[in-house]
Structure 1
Amino acid sequence: MSKEIKLRVEASEENERKIVAARKKYLPMATRGSVMYFVMDELAKLNCMYQFSLHWFMRIFTESVSDMHKPHTRRPRARFPGRSNEFRNLTSSSAKMHIGFRSYLQNMMNTLTDNTYKLVWYALFTEHQLCFSFMLCSSIMRTSDPERDEFSSIGHLAETEWQIFLHCSMLAGMVSAQDRLDNLGGDTWFEQGPNAQWMTENMWKQCLYINTQLSCFALLCRSINTHPIQWESFRNSEEPYHFMKRPFHLLGMDPRQGSPQISRALDSDQHQSEEHRQLLDSIFPWESLTSFQSLILIKILRPECLIATVREFIAEKLGPDFLPSPSVHLRDAFDETDASTPLIFLLSPGTDPVTQLLRFAKEYHGNTDHLETISLGRGQGPIAEELIHKALAQRGRWVFLQNCHLAAYFMPTLQAIVESFRKPGVHIDPNFRLLLSSKSDHTFPISILHEGVKVAVEPPQGLKNKLLTSFGSSGVGEVTERTYMKENVSVSWRRLLFSLCLFNAIIQERNKYGALGWNIPYEFSSSDLEPQSDSEHPLVSSSNCPSKLSANSDILQTLLNPSHSN
C-alpha cells in the first residue's frame, strides 16, 4: 500500500512539473494581456468616459485565444471609380497559418493586440488615439526582456530611458552646476559654447543630463560645441527621425542630403591633420542610437517634430495599422453589440449622430420604423423609461436616448434597466438594441460604460478626411457607392456631386481660422450637405446638359463645364 501511494505521489509531482513547464510557455501571452488591460485602465485619466471592465477584456482575451484565425477587423472603406469593387482583405498577419509552437504563440499575441486595439479605438477621440498607440507600444517594450523573452521583436525599452523621456526637463533642473561638473569629470565641454547658442538654456541642461546619465550620449555636448555643421544639418532636416538613421560623414559625402560645406571640409588640406582627426573622432554617432533614444534627442532639440516622430516610431514598431484613423465604421461597432449591450455615442462639441444613425437604420432595415428616438432633459426620464419597456415587449425595436448628460437624475434608473438585461431568467428579443449618446460627464454610470460598446463621434479633420467621410468611408456617409454609381445618372451629375462635397469640406475647414474664415460664425456640418445632394438630380440628369440650365444656375454650369467660365 505504501509503495502504491509513493508511486501516485511521484506521478502527481511529475504531472505538476509538466503543468508548470507548459504554463511557463504561455507566460508571454499572459504578460501581453496584462499590459493591454492596464494601458486601457490608464485611459480613464484622459477622459472619464474611457471605462473598460476586466470582464469585457477577459471576453476579448478568450476570443483571441480560442478563435485566433478570426480577429476583429475594421471594415474596408468604400471604393469609387478607378478602383476595384472588391474589398481588400484587412485581416492581420496573425490570421495566417502558424507553424510550430513559437509561431502559434506569436500569432496569438498579435491577434490579442490587434483585437483589443481595434475595439478600444472605436471609443477614442482623434486627439487621444496617438497617445493610446504610444502608451501601448512603450508598455510592450518596457515589459519585454531582451535576454529571456524571444517574442520581444520590437525591442526593449529600459526604465531609465522611459523616465528620462517623460521627465528630462524636471530631472535636469534638479541637478546643480557643481554636480554636473563632477559628473563630467572636470571636462570643459559642459559649458555652452558659441556653437551652441542656438539652444535655449533648458535644452542645454537636458543635453548635459543625458550626456552624464546615458552612455550612448557621452559625446553629445562635446559634439554640439565642436561640430556646428553636423548640428546645423540636424536642425534643418525635415524628418530628423529618418535623418539620423545614416552616419553624419556619409550624409556629408552625399550632396543630396548633406551640406556642401561638409564635403569641402573633408577634402581640405587639413583633413589629415591631427586636429582634424580629433574633430572627426568627436562626431556624434547618432546612427548608433536606438529608435527610442532618437526620440529622446528629438524631444529635447526638435520638440516641434515630436508628434510626427512619435507617429514614425509607432509605425516602425507596431505597424501603420496602429496609427490614428479618421473615422469609425458604424456597422462594425454595431456588430459588437447585442440585446443586452448598449451602443454608446461619445459626443464632441458640435456633433450629432442622429442623421448618421437614421441613415444606418435605413440601410440596415430598409426603413426607420423600428427606431424610436427621444432627447433627454427635464421631465423626459419617465417617458424614456416607458419607451424602453414598450420596445422590450415588441420585436426588433431600437431605442435611442439622446443627450444623457442632460438627465443626471435619470441615470440611476437607466443603470438599473441596463443591469436587469443580464439577470437570470430575463428574456430579451435578440434584435432589440439600446443606443445612448452623451458628452463626457462624470454622472454617466460606469457600469454602463463597462458593458457597452463606445463610439467616439467627432467631425473629421482636414479636407481629405472630410471627403472620405462624405463618401462613406465610415459606412454612414452622405454619398454611398450605390448612390454615386447609379446607372441612370450622367458623368456631369457625378462631377457636380463631388464638387459639392469638396465645397462643403472647404467651408467646414475654414472654421478653424475664426473671423478670417467666416466673419459671421455658422456651424457648417454634414447636415447642410445632405439636402443639397438630394436636390441635385432634378437639376442635372442624364437628359439635361449644362447648356440647358437656367440663368440662375451659373455656378452649376461652371462646375460642370469649367471652360464656359472663360
Structure 2
Amino acid sequence: NDIDIEYNPNFRVYFITQLNNPHFLPDICIRVTLINFTITQNGLEHQLLSLVVLNEEPHLEYERKVLLETMAQDLKSLRDFEDRTLEMLTTSEQHLLDRHDLIDNLTRSKITSDEIANRYHENESNERQINLARQCYVSLAKRGSLLYFLINHLSRLNIMYQFSLTWFQRTFHSCILDHDSTRRMSMTNLSNELDPLQRLTRQRRSSSLLSSLISSPRQSISEELTREQIPINLTRTRHNTKSFVSTITPQQRAATLRLMVDRLTYTIYQLVSWSLFAEHQLLFSFLLTTTIERETNNDEKTRYMATASDIIQEEEGGDEQQQQQQQHINELEAKLPCITHDEWTLFMSPLLSTINEDKLSFVNDLLASLYSVCQHLLHDTNQEFFKHSNPYLYLTRHDHHSRLSRFQCILIIKILRPELLLPSISQYVAEQMGSKFLSSGFDDIQDIYTHSSPQAPIILLLSSGTDPTNLLLRFAKETRGSASHLDVISLGQGQGPKVEEVLSKALTLKGRWIFLHNCHLSASFMPRLRVLVNNFSKPGLELDSQFRLFLSTKPDVHFPLELLQLGLKVRFINCIISKYLSSH
C-alpha cells in the first residue's frame, strides 16, 4: 500500500508448497525467487537403484559412496592448493624467488596434484566397474520410477488421489524386502557363502531401518540410509564384490528380478486401486498396462538397435552390402510390437461415436496402415467384424489380422465399434497383465488393517449414501470380541474439542481405535486435525502398535493434502459394505 516499512537486511522468508503445479499471481512471481524441488523420473530412478543395490549388494553401494566422496574431496584439495597459490602470488610484495613459503607450497601442490591425479584415475576405473555391476538392477528401479509418476498424475482425476514420494519409497522398500528368510526374494540368498560383515550389516539394517520406518511413516528411506555408518574395510578393496557377483548366475538374477518387478507392480496397483472410485478403476488398469508396455517396448527396441548397430560395424563388406543390412534392420524394427507416438495420439483423440469420412481421413493422416485395415473391415461383404459380439477376440484370432498388435486392435475397436471399447480394454488388460489387475476393490477389511500403521490414518473415501460405521463395529468385534475399544465421533459443529480429548486419552491407553466420521462436514477443524496427526510422529512419542485412526470423508478440497499423502486411502461403496456384512 505504498507504505515504507523498516526491516532488517538479514530478513528472509521462505514459502513451501506441496502442490505439483501451484498458481501464483504475476505480481508475486516478479518479486520472489521460485525454486523447483520436484523430482524427475530419471532422478527417482537413480535413488531407487541405490536403494535396491544397498539392499541386495550393500558393499557395492558403500564402495560407490566412498568413491564419490573421495573424488569430491580430491578435487576440493586441488582447488584449495590453487587458490592458496594464487593468493600468495597476488599479495606478495617481495620477489617471487625470495618467497620460500610460496616455493614450498608450489612443491607440495605439485606432489599432491600428481598423487590426486593418479588416485582420481584409479577411482574413475573403480566407479565404472561398480556402475557396471549395478546396472543389472536397473529394470527394478526403472519400473518403480515409472509407477510413481503414473500414480502421481492421478490427482488430475480426483483431488483425493494423492500419494507422497515418502509413501512410495516405503512401499518400494517393503516390496524388495521380505522378513521371512525362506521366501526372501534376494540375490544374496542365491549365494552359498556370504561375507560375515555383509550379514552383520544386513541384520543391523533390517532391524534398525525397518523398525524406524514402520514407527515413523514420514521418514524418508534416503534420509535414513544417509545415517548409516560405512564400514571402512568394505570400501578399500573390490575382491569381495567380484567373488560375490560371480556366485550369482545371470539366469538366477534375471528370474529373481522378474519376481521382484512383478511383486512391486501388483502391490502398487493393489494399494492404489483401493482408493479409486469405480469410474476410474478400469482407466487406471489401462494406463498401467500401456505405460509398462510402452516402456518395455522402448527398452527392447533400444537394445535391439544397439546390437544391430554393432553387427553392422563388425561386418566387412561393400556399401551395397551394408545398405542391404540396414534395410533388413529397418524392416525388423518395424515388426517390433510397440505403441508408437502416433498410435497413442490417435487413441487420446476425441473421435466421434459414428463412422464418417472425417474420422477416417483423420486416421489416414496419422496411421495409413491402420486406415487400410479399417477400409478392409468396412467393405467386407460378410461384415463379420461388425456382427461379432467380441470384436477384440475376432481381431486377435483372425489370421488376416495377425500382424496387428494388441493395442492396434483396441484402436480399431475405438474407431469402428466404440460401444464395445470398455469390455475390449478389459480383455486387453487381462491378456497383457493378468485378470488380477481388474479388481474392483479390497476383499477383506483385514487386508487394510494389515497394510496400515499407527502413525498413518486410514482414510475411507465415501460415495453418496455410504456409511461404514456398522462395518467397523463388526470388524472391531471380530478382532477383539467387543467394540469397546472403538470410539466413533460424527464430526460437525462443536465436535473439535471432543475429538482432541478423545485423541489425547487414546495416546496414553493401549489399543484404542478412533473413527472420525464425515470429515467433509467439518472443514474448519481440518487444519487442527492435520496438526494432531502430525504429532503422532513427534520424536519421543511411542504409539501403541494396535492404535488406529479411521477418517471418513467424501471428496473435498478442504481435506488436508498432507493427510491424503500420508494415509492409507480406501474407497467405500455400499456393495462392498453389504458384501462384507453378509459374509460375516
Shorter-chain TM-score range: 0.5 to 0.7
**Which of 245, 263, 272 lines up with 1:120 in the alignment?**
272
Counterpart Cα distance in 2 of 1:147 and 1:479? 49
Structure 2 CA distance for partners of 1:389 and 1:209, relative to 1, 3 Å = same
Q: How does 1:80-99 map to 2 (within 5 A)?
A: 99=251
Counterpart code for 1:345: L
Deviation by residue 1:464-516 (Cα, 9 ceiling, x = unmatched): xx7xx75x6xxx43333xxxxxxxxxxxxxxxxxxxxxxxxxxxxxxxxxxxx
Q: How does 1:496-511 map to 2 (within 5 A)?
A: none
Counterpart Cα distance in 2 of 1:415 and 1:222? 59
Whether 1:165 and 2:347 are equivalent positions in the alignment is yes
TM-aligned CA deviation for residue 244 of structure 1: 1.2
Aligned twin of 1:20: 131
Higher helix content, 1 or 2: 2
Aligned twin of 2:255: 103
CA RMSD of aligned residues (A): 2.6
Counterpart Cα distance in 2 of 1:419 and 1:156? 46
Counterpart Cα distance in 2 of 1:430 and 1:98? 41
Aligned twin of 1:245: 396
**Which of 25, 30, 44 lines up with 2:155 in the alignment?**
44
Whether 1:291 and 2:406 are equivalent positions in the alignment is yes
TM-aligned CA deviation for residue 149 of structure 1: 5.6
TM-aligned CA deviation for residue 142 of structure 1: 2.1
Aligned twin of 1:260: none
Counterpart Cα distance in 2 of 1:119 and 1:405? 23
Q: How does 1:200-219 map to 2 (within 5 A)?
A: 200=354, 202-219=355-372
Structure 2 CA distance for partners of 1:98 and 1:406, relative to 1, 3 Å = farther
Aligned twin of 2:472: 357
Aligned twin of 1:30: 141
8 Å CA contact retained: 1:134, 1:310:
yes
Counterpart code for 1:27: V
8 Å CA contact retained: 1:207, 1:220:
no
**Which of 507, 510, 525 lines up with 1:410 in the alignment?**
525
TM-aligned CA deviation for residue 115 of structure 1: 1.1
Counterpart Cα distance in 2 of 1:224 and 1:204? 15
3-state SS of paired residue (1:18): helix
Q: Identify which range, 325-334 or 300-309, moves more after superposition.
A: 325-334
8 Å CA contact retained: 2:337, 2:405:
no
Aligned twin of 1:267: none
Counterpart Cα distance in 1 of 2:545 and 2:374? 67
TM-aligned CA deviation for residue 42 of structure 1: 1.5
Counterpart Cα distance in 1 of 2:496 and 2:152? 31
How many residues align? The count is 374
The alignment's TM-score, normalised by the length of structure 2, stands at: 0.60
Deviation by residue 1:335-371 (Cα, 9 ceiling, x = unmatched): 1112211111110001100000000000011101111
Counterpart code for 2:145: S
Aligned twin of 1:143: 295
Structure 2 CA distance for partners of 1:66 and 1:479, relative to 1, 3 Å = closer
TM-aligned CA deviation for residue 215 of structure 1: 4.4
Deviation by residue 1:203-258 (Cα, 9 ceiling, x = unmatched): 432223323432432523652564332xx11111000001112336xxxxxxxxxx
Counterpart Cα distance in 1 of 2:277 and 2:452? 20
Aligned twin of 1:227: 380
Counterpart Cα distance in 1 of 2:375 and 2:495? 70
8 Å CA contact retained: 1:402, 1:438:
yes
8 Å CA contact retained: 1:142, 1:159:
no
Counterpart code for 1:211: N
Counterpart Cα distance in 2 of 1:99 and 1:373? 54
Aligned twin of 1:419: 534
8 Å CA contact retained: 2:374, 2:412:
no
Aligned twin of 1:432: 547
Counterpart Cα distance in 2 of 1:135 and 1:159? 15
- Between the two proteins, what is the percent identity of the paired residues? 39
Counterpart Cα distance in 2 of 1:217 and 1:320? 28
TM-aligned CA deviation for residue 27 of structure 1: 2.5
3-state SS of paired residue (1:59): helix
Which blocks of at least 5 consecutive residues in structure 1 are unaligned?
72-96, 171-198, 249-284, 461-465, 481-566
Aligned twin of 1:310: 425
TM-aligned CA deviation for residue 19 of structure 1: 2.1
Structure 2 CA distance for partners of 1:388 and 1:477, relative to 1, 3 Å = same
The alignment's TM-score, normalised by the length of structure 1, stands at: 0.62
Counterpart code for 2:344: W
Aligned twin of 2:286: 134
3-state SS of paired residue (1:394): coil
8 Å CA contact retained: 1:211, 1:221:
no
Counterpart Cα distance in 1 of 2:374 and 2:545? 67
Q: How does 1:318-333 map to 2 (within 5 A)?
A: 318-325=433-440, 327-333=442-448
Counterpart Cα distance in 2 of 1:347 and 1:70? 37
TM-aligned CA deviation for residue 328 of structure 1: 3.7
Counterpart Cα distance in 2 of 1:295 and 1:214? 14
Structure 2 CA distance for partners of 1:63 and 1:478, relative to 1, 3 Å = same
Structure 2 CA distance for partners of 1:433 and 1:205, relative to 1, 3 Å = same
TM-aligned CA deviation for residue 99 of structure 1: 4.7
8 Å CA contact retained: 1:28, 1:149:
no
Structure 2 CA distance for partners of 1:169 and 1:478, relative to 1, 3 Å = closer
3-state SS of paired residue (1:147): helix
Counterpart Cα distance in 2 of 1:161 and 1:13? 43
Whether 1:156 and 2:338 are equivalent positions in the alignment is yes
Structure 2 CA distance for partners of 1:385 and 1:9, relative to 1, 3 Å = same
Structure 2 CA distance for partners of 1:46 and 1:6, relative to 1, 3 Å = closer
3-state SS of paired residue (1:48): coil
3-state SS of paired residue (2:396): coil
Aligned twin of 1:62: 173
TM-aligned CA deviation for residue 5 of structure 1: 5.6
3-state SS of paired residue (1:477): helix
Deviation by residue 1:500-557 (Cα, 9 ceiling, x = unmatched): xxxxxxxxxxxxxxxxxxxxxxxxxxxxxxxxxxxxxxxxxxxxxxxxxxxxxxxxxx
Counterpart Cα distance in 2 of 1:369 and 1:452? 24
Counterpart Cα distance in 1 of 2:184 and 2:409? 37
Whether 1:374 and 2:489 are equivalent positions in the alignment is yes
3-state SS of paired residue (1:9): helix
Structure 2 CA distance for partners of 1:139 and 1:228, relative to 1, 3 Å = same
Counterpart Cα distance in 2 of 1:435 and 1:407? 15
8 Å CA contact retained: 1:203, 1:300:
no
Structure 2 CA distance for partners of 1:358 and 1:99, relative to 1, 3 Å = farther
Counterpart Cα distance in 2 of 1:226 and 1:446? 54
Counterpart Cα distance in 1 of 2:375 and 2:514? 67
Counterpart Cα distance in 2 of 1:408 and 1:246? 55
TM-aligned CA deviation for residue 135 of structure 1: 1.0
Deviation by residue 1:273-311 (Cα, 9 ceiling, x = unmatched): xxxxxxxxxxxx433211000100000111110000000
Counterpart code for 2:301: E
Counterpart Cα distance in 1 of 2:461 and 2:428? 29
Counterpart code for 1:133: S
Structure 2 CA distance for partners of 1:218 and 1:340, relative to 1, 3 Å = closer
Which blocks of at least 5 consecutive residues in structure 2 are unaligned?
1-110, 186-248, 305-335
Structure 2 CA distance for partners of 1:364 and 1:35, relative to 1, 3 Å = same
3-state SS of paired residue (2:487): strand
**Which of 451, 467, 486 lines up with 1:336 in the alignment?**
451
Structure 2 CA distance for partners of 1:28 and 1:203, relative to 1, 3 Å = farther
Aligned twin of 2:581: 477
